[in-house]
């Protein structure tokens, strides 16, 4: 995203001739098969990975490189849902190498070091990107053995060393601080690329374009015109086979602390001076700092949590679990731009439909001269940014019904990525993020202070909910839009959730 550089497709990673090794730790896991390998394959197909970029899988499972290639070929078709042409795959596969070992064990990491040196032809200037696709509980040990064995040391004449870390980054502020300190014992902050895959989504980046490449939105993007903002990330899938992880984390740690607060910071931030990483990230952190802190009591009053019926029966879930699979909350920002504007966030599993949207609801006209029609409710304008699926932007405004006197109803003006750009095939978030990490562009990665601010926001809520007697978990039917108490959160303020879902350019009645 750095503005001074040409479009990334013109600069395949490794194009300057230097060997750049990508090491994926946890290479036999779900993330590698479902996301990372397909993303690297796509980058290669698009000519964005030069030939001198070897990819190394590293995991505890004993396997040869050939077996690893075959495992990945099956994996990306069966799990990743891709259909690569066999001849393309055969051309890509030789760059895949596999070494078995445990990243938490320094002696095994020392052996990996030797393998990397051989693979890199002893080239001191070779760059290395380490991707930790491993359980977060292993980060600490993995990072310290990388440090101990000298795999990530940058010395004069050596290439760069970077580490990519997946979420969840901690489970509260305290654990995130501990993790940040252990990262910083081995890496400088500018070497750490913390991933939030929502930032790799085209439509999330389009939020910046909508706000700052158009002159018409920014003047009304404030408390004088905006009545409320709603961010919905609804998933139709349930916890599936991830129950073991999910039951320990729940929706606030899994989705809200990261993805929804990332989106919120992009909606509310002040305009950055440039798109350079720190310029952008400073503004995002500033926006999070403006969020009014909750006491535990206020947190519980401003949020609801619920579980879909049947969650406790899933394998791996504690039959008495109070882990929320759904949460909704009301937040305020204390700054000039947003004072008094409520931000409603909600996310859940097993909901009616997969849909991620941001709805900016503007104030109603100050004086009504047209007859009201209860069928369509208030006629306020709503700008909806549809993050997925059917990515696009919609503006709801009032229009005169033909041949019905001065009767008025809301209509939608629509922009769909699919029709506007002739493709529904938007790149996967991981493609963009991997490419940026290779290019050293950290704009779409999370800085340590952002992670810490985000935990400060949700920690009081997590603490309040530990008291399951005062704040019992609510229930909702799988396939619904969540519990009634989430509707009550808005109706207390005289508002309701904006309609979510398929518009397809049709008038929405």
| Contact letters for ligand BG6, residues 299-338 (x by CB under 6 A) | ----------------------------------------
| Residue 54 phi, psi (nearest 5) | -70, 145
Quickly count: other Cβ atoms within 10 Å of residue 316's Cβ.
Answer: 14
> Which lies closer to ligand BG6 via its Cβ, residue 126 or residue 446?
446
Rounded Cα–Cα distance for residues 426 and 203 (Å): 9
> Which lies closer to ligand BG6 via its Cβ, residue 31 or residue 208?
31
> Which lies closer to ligand BG6 via its Cβ, residue 429 or residue 473?
429
Positions annotated as catalytic residues are 259
- What is the footprint of ligand BG6 within residues 107-136 (CB under 6 A)? none
Rounded Cα–Cα distance for residues 56 and 123 (Å): 16
Q: How far is the CB of 356 from ligand BG6 (least distance, A)?
A: 6
Residue whose C-alpha is closest to residue 152's, from 118, 192, 119, 121: 192
Q: How far is the CB of 349 from ligand BG6 (least distance, A)?
A: 7
Rounded Cα–Cα distance for residues 163 and 21 (Å): 12
> Does 254 interact with ligand BG6 (rule: CB under 6 A)?
yes
Q: How far is the CB of 428 from ligand BG6 (least distance, A)?
A: 9
Quickly count: other Cβ atoms within 10 Å of residue 173's Cβ.
Answer: 18
> Does 414 interact with ligand BG6 (rule: CB under 6 A)?
no
DSSP 386-443: EEESS-EEEEEEEEEPTTSTT-EEEEEEEEEHHHHHT-S-PPPHHHHHHHHHHHT--T
| Contact letters for ligand BG6, residues 193-232 (x by CB under 6 A) | ----------------------------------------
H/E stretch holding 30: helix 30-31
Residues whose CB falls within 8 Å of the CB of residue 324, separated by 6 or more in sequence, listed in order: 250, 251, 252, 305, 306, 307, 465, 473
Q: What is the CA radius of gyration of the chain?
A: 24
Q: How far is the CB of 251 from ligand BG6 (least distance, A)?
A: 8
> Which lies closer to ligand BG6 via its Cβ, residue 161 or residue 259?
259
Rounded Cα–Cα distance for residues 185 and 409 (Å): 60
> Which lies closer to ligand BG6 via its Cβ, residue 126 or residue 134?
134
Rounded Cα–Cα distance for residues 175 and 454 (Å): 13
> Which lies closer to ligand BG6 via its Cβ, residue 33 or residue 356?
356
| Contact letters for ligand BG6, residues 46-65 (x by CB under 6 A) | --------------------
> Does 235 interact with ligand BG6 (rule: CB under 6 A)?
yes
> Which lies closer to ligand BG6 via its Cβ, residue 63 or residue 204?
204
Closest CB to ligand BG6: residue number:
254
Rounded Cα–Cα distance for residues 47 and 13 (Å): 9
Give yes or no for a contact between 306 and 473, defined as CB atoms under 8 angstroms apart. yes
Residue whose C-alpha is closest to residue 105's, from 66, 134, 67: 134
> Does 361 interact with ligand BG6 (rule: CB under 6 A)?
no
- What is the footprint of ligand BG6 within residues 441-460 (CB under 6 A)? none
Q: How far is the CB of 240 from ligand BG6 (least distance, A)?
A: 9
Q: How far is the CB of 216 from ligand BG6 (least distance, A)?
A: 29
Asked if residue 389 has a cis previous peptide bond (ω within 30° of 0), the answer is: yes
Angle between helix 139-148 and 106-119 (nearest 10): 60
Q: How many residues interact with ligand BG6 (rule CB under 6 A)?
A: 3
Quickly count: other Cβ atoms within 10 Å of residue 505's Cβ.
Answer: 15
> Which lies closer to ligand BG6 via its Cβ, residue 56 or residue 199?
199
Q: How far is the CB of 359 from ligand BG6 (least distance, A)?
A: 17
- What is the footprint of ligand BG6 within residues 365-394 (CB under 6 A)? none
| Residue 351 phi, psi (nearest 5) | -100, 175
Sheet architecture: strand order including 161-165: 96-100, 55-59, 20-25, 127-132, 161-165, 192-194
Q: How far is the CB of 274 from ligand BG6 (least distance, A)?
A: 28
Residue whose C-alpha is closest to residue 151's, from 188, 120, 110, 123: 110
> Which lies closer to ligand BG6 via its Cβ, residue 56 or residue 327?
327
φ/ψ region of 437 (left if φ > 0, alpha if ψ in -120 to 50, else beta) reads alpha
Q: How far is the CB of 451 from ligand BG6 (least distance, A)?
A: 14
> Does 428 interact with ligand BG6 (rule: CB under 6 A)?
no
Secondary structure E strands in 223-325:
226-234, 303-308
Q: Which residues bind ligand BG6 (CB under 6 A)?
A: 235, 254, 356
């Amino acid at each position: 995203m750095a503005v001074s550089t040409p479009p990334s497709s013109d600069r395949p990673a490794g194009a300057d001739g230097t060997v750049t090794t990508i090491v994926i730790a946890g290479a036999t896991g779900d993330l590698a098969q479902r996301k990372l390998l397909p993303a690297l394959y796509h980058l290669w197909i698009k000519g964005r990975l030069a030939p001198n970029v070897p990819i190394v899988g590293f995991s505890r499972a004993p396997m040869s490189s050939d077996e690893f290639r075959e495992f990945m070929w099956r994996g990306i078709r069966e799990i990743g849902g891709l259909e690569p042409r066999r001849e393309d795959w055969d051309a890509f596969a030789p760059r895949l190498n596999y070494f078995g070992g445990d990243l938490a064990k320094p002696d095994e990491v020392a052996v990996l070091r030797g393998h990397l040196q051989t693979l890199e032809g002893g080239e001191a200037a070779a760059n290395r990107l380490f991707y930790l696709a491993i359980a977060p509980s292993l980060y600490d040990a993995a990072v310290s053995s990388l440090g101990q064995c000298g795999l990530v040391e940058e010395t004069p004449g050596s290439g760069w060393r970077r580490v990519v870390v997946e979420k969840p980054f901690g489970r509260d502020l305290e654990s995130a601080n501990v993790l940040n300190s252990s990262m910083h014992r081995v890496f400088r902050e500018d070497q750490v690329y913390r991933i939030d895959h929502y930032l790799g989504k085209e439509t999330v980046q389009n939020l910046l374009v909508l706000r700052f490449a158009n002159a018409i939105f920014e003047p009304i993007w404030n408390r004088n015109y905006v009545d409320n903002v709603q961010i919905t990330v609804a998933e139709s899938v349930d916890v599936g086979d991830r129950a073991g992880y999910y039951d320990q984390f729940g929706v606030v740690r899994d989705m809200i602390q990261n993805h929804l607060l990332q989106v919120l910071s992009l909606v509310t931030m002040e305009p950055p001076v440039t798109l350079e990483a720190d310029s952008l990230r400073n503004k995002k952190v500033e926006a999070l700092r403006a969020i009014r802190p909750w006491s535990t009591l206020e947190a519980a009053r401003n949020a609801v949590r619920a579980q879909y019926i049947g969650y406790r029966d899933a394998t791996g879930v504690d039959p008495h679990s109070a882990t929320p699979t759904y949460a909704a909350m009301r937040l305020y920002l204390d700054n000039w731009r947003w004072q008094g504007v409520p931000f409603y966030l909600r996310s859940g599993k097993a909901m009616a439909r997969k849909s991620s949207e941001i709805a900016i609801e503007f104030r109603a006209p100050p004086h009504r001269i047209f007859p009201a029609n209860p069928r369509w409710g208030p006629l306020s304008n709503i700008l909806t940014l549809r993050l997925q699926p059917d990515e696009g932007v919609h503006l709801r405004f009032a229009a005169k019904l033909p041949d019905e006197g001065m009767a008025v109803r809301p209509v939608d003006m629509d922009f769909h990525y699919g029709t506007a750009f002739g493709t529904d095939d938007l790149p996967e978030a991981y493609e963009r993020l991997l490419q940026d990490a290779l290019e050293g562009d950290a704009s779409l990665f999370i800085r340590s202070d952002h992670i810490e601010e985000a935990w400060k926001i949700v920690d009081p809520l997590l603490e309040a909910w530990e008291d399951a007697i005062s704040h019992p978990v609510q229930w909702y039917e799988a396939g619904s839009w969540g519990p009634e108490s989430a509707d009550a959160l808005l109706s207390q303020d005289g508002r309701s959730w904006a309609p979510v879902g398929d518009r397809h350019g049709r008038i929405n009645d």
